[in-house]
């Protein structure tokens, strides 16, 4: 099979996102079109360009008088990726321009070669970025609707949240405490010439100073360690699994949090990993097998659990629900292009329905941890408060060393060198 250039494939992927496709659906098949040595560049261009897209769109609007047609979104994407390469990567500027123009020809859109060349050279003449007429939201690389919401809800945190969304996340590890101790694994990393630091607030957390492929991690395929964001690792602390308990992970795929619970408490009676997607559940199976763990796998919609799951019920339930992903935009940068205001209310309806569906499966005296990777109140506090008006619920206090206290839980905001933006609310069911 003939391999395509990194820039051509990146432009195709970004262009399809601009046309409404999800990045998760496009990858990794698209990367398979690129030669191994070109894949890092392709990935960097895709993710980096999408993280910066609202700003790039503003710059392009400054430089192109007549907007391109939708069918030419790949050309628009190519220009955006070239802007990212010119401003963020170390590629010589003349090489970026020449390679980008050459890519236009590979795309069989020779008519655009003059346009692309002219736009990029005009951009270079007009730098720095302060010289462009951009809105504050565009300068923060956020869509205007989301920028306004974050400013309304976070005020002084707006710039920090926006900046975090523009950076690659750190690579954080979770040591499998059943098989190894953190200090011992740190020594393995040192022996492998990988620099890393322990996370003070997480007993098994480690952050690498530079990301690497998982194949470079000592003992990864033997189950010694997993990759998991530091904020996500707080789930096991909050649920605090006890020997003999039955725990349900209701939206389990890909299984990172379920595996952490099993590592934290090997003497559970049972951990049930549930998800509505059979394909996604396979990832839970793969992860538990790699780590040498055992769980019960059930394909089911958390909004309508099978009656067999309601009795005898669970001591604890984790509801890591579908959401807008506004707290993990750096990992899912297509959020900046694809999400709309209407999506937030739709997610909130689904989230409330999940809580309603799970509550009957929780034993009296049991606890339910509600988690989103959203930073928006409509999906977080507002959902929990709406649920608490329907059911007799005790909201348990949560205090962390980082983040913001909310009425019904705790909000962790994304940090450039820290964890993702997650919301936690711990609910308990009154005992009979």
- pTM equals 0.95
**Pair 29, 49 in one domain:** yes
On whether the CB atoms of residues 430 and 364 are closer than 8 A, the answer is: yes
**Pair 18, 125 in one domain:** yes
**Pair 238, 364 in one domain:** yes
**Pair 223, 240 in one domain:** no
Tell me phi and psi for residue 91, to 5 degrees. -60, 135
Q: Please say if 274 is a catalytic residue.
A: no
Torsion of CA 200, 201, 206, 209, to 10 degrees: -70
Find tokens 């996340």 and name the residue. Answer: 169
**Pair 111, 257 in one domain:** no
In this prediction, residue 356 carries a pLDDT of: 98
**Pair 294, 358 in one domain:** yes
On whether the CB atoms of residues 255 and 282 are closer than 8 A, the answer is: no
Q: Domain with 353 in it: what CATH number?
A: 3.40.50.150
On whether the CB atoms of residues 202 and 419 are closer than 8 A, the answer is: no
Last residue of a domain, one of 83, 107, 134: 134
For residue 309, how many other CB atoms are within 10 A of its CB?
18
N- to C-terminal Cα distance for the chain? 65
Find tokens 């009957």 and name the residue. Answer: 360
Residue 68 in any domain: the answer is yes
In this prediction, residue 1 carries a pLDDT of: 45
pLDDT digits (tens, 9 = 90+) for 261-306: 999 999 999 999 999 999 999 999 999 999 999 999 999 999 999 9
Residue 163 in any domain: the answer is no
Segment 399-405 long-range contacts (CB within 8 Å, at least 24 positions apart): 400/201, 400/234, 401/201, 402/201, 404/157
Q: Is 157 exposed, middle or buried (CB count within 10 Å of its CB: 0-12, 13-18, 19+)?
A: middle
Residue 328 in any domain: the answer is yes
**Pair 240, 365 in one domain:** yes
Residue 142 in any domain: the answer is no
Last residue of a domain, one of 108, 134, 160: 134
Residue 157 in any domain: the answer is no
DSSP annotation of 34 reads B
Return per-residue pLDDT of the chain as tens, 432 residues. Answer: 456 889 999 999 999 999 999 998 898 788 888 888 889 999 999 999 999 999 999 999 999 988 899 999 999 999 999 999 999 999 999 999 999 999 999 999 999 999 999 999 999 998 778 789 999 999 999 999 999 999 999 989 999 999 999 999 999 999 999 999 999 999 999 999 999 999 999 999 999 999 999 999 999 999 999 999 999 999 999 999 999 999 999 999 999 999 999 999 999 999 999 999 999 999 999 999 999 999 999 999 999 999 999 989 999 999 999 999 999 999 999 999 999 999 999 999 999 999 999 999 999 999 999 999 999 999 999 999 999 999 999 999 999 999 999 999 999 999 999 999 999 999 999 997
DSSP of 323-336, one letter per residue? ---TT-TTTSTTHH
In this prediction, residue 129 carries a pLDDT of: 81
Torsion of CA 225, 229, 230, 234, to 10 degrees: -90
Residue 331 in any domain: the answer is yes
Distance CA 13, CA 26 (A): 7
Structural domains of the chain, count: 3
Find tokens 């629900």 and name the residue. Answer: 321
On whether the CB atoms of residues 379 and 324 are closer than 8 A, the answer is: yes
| DSSP H helix total and E strand total for the chain | 16, 13
**CA neighbours closer than 13 Å in the CB half-sphere of residue 374:** 27
On whether the CB atoms of residues 14 and 50 are closer than 8 A, the answer is: yes
Residue 424 in any domain: the answer is yes
pLDDT digits (tens, 9 = 90+) for 403-412: 999 999 999 9
Q: Domain with 184 in it: what CATH number?
A: 3.30.70.1170
In 204-313 the beta strands, taken as DSSP E runs, fall at 205-208, 225-227, 246-249, 270-275, 296-299
Structural domain containing residue 386? 234-428
Helix (H, G, I), strand (E, B) or coil at 17: helix
For residue 110, how many other CB atoms are within 10 A of its CB?
10
In this prediction, residue 231 carries a pLDDT of: 97
In this prediction, residue 126 carries a pLDDT of: 85
Distance CA 209, CA 176 (A): 20
Q: Which two tokens stand for residue 206?
A: 């480690």
**Pair 359, 424 in one domain:** yes
User: Residue 128, preceding bond cis, omega within 30 degrees?
Assistant: yes
**Pair 10, 64 in one domain:** yes
DSSP annotation of 104 reads H
Give me Rg for the CA atoms of the chain: 23
Q: Which two tokens stand for residue 420?
A: 């993702």
In this prediction, residue 3 carries a pLDDT of: 62
**Pair 248, 282 in one domain:** yes
Q: Domain with 34 in it: what CATH number?
A: 1.10.940.10
**Pair 215, 128 in one domain:** no
Residue 165 in any domain: the answer is no
**Pair 329, 381 in one domain:** yes
Last residue of a domain, one of 134, 156, 186: 134
């Amino acid at each position: 099979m003939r391999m395509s250039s990194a820039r051509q494939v990146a432009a195709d992927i970004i262009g399809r996102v601009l046309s409404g496709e999800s990045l998760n659906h496009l990858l990794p098949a698209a990367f398979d079109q690129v030669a191994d040595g070109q894949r890092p560049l392709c990935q960097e261009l895709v993710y980096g360009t999408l993280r910066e897209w609202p700003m790039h769109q503003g710059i392009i609007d400054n430089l192109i008088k007549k907007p391109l047609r939708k069918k030419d979104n790949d050309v628009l994407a190519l220009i955006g990726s070239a802007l990212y390469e010119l401003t963020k990567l170390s590629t010589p500027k003349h090489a970026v321009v020449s390679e980008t123009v050459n890519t236009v020809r590979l795309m069989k859109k020779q008519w655009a070669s003059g346009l692309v060349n002219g736009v990029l050279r005009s951009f270079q003449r007009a730098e720095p970025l302060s010289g462009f007429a951009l809105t504050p939201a565009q300068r923060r690389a956020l869509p205007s609707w989301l920028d306004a919401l974050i400013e309304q809800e976070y005020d002084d945190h707006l710039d920090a949240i926006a900046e975090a969304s523009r950076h690659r996340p750190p690579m954080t590890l979770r040591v499998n405490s059943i098989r190894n101790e953190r200090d011992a694994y740190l020594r393995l990393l040192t022996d492998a010439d990988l620099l890393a630091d322990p996370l003070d607030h997480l007993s098994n957390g480690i952050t690498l100073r530079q990301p690497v492929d998982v194949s470079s991690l000592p003992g990864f395929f033997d189950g010694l360690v997993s990759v998991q964001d530091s904020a996500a690792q707080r789930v096991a602390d909050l649920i605090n699994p006890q020997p003999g308990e039955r725990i349900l992970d209701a939206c389990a795929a890909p299984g990172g949090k379920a595996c952490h619970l099993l590592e934290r408490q090997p003497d559970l009676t049972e951990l049930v990993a549930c998800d509505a997607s059979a394909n996604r559940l396979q990832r839970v199976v793969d992860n538990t097998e790699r780590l040498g763990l055992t769980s019960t796998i059930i394909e089911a919609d958390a909004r309508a659990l099978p009656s067999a799951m309601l009795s005898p019920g669970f001591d604890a339930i984790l509801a890591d629900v579908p959401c807008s992903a506004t707290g993990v935009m750096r990992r899912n940068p297509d959020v900046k292009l694809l999400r709309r205001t209407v999506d937030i209310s739709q997610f909130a309806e689904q989230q409330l329905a999940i809580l309603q569906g799970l509550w009957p499966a929780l034993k009296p005296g049991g606890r339910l941890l509600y988690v989103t990777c959203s930073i928006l109140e409509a999906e977080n506090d507002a959902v929990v408060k709406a649920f608490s008006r329907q059911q007799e619920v005790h909201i348990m206090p949560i205090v962390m060393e980082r983040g913001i206290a909310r009425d019904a839980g705790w909000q962790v905001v994304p940090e450039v060198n820290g964890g993702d933006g997650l919301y936690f609310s711990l609910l308990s069911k009154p005992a009979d």
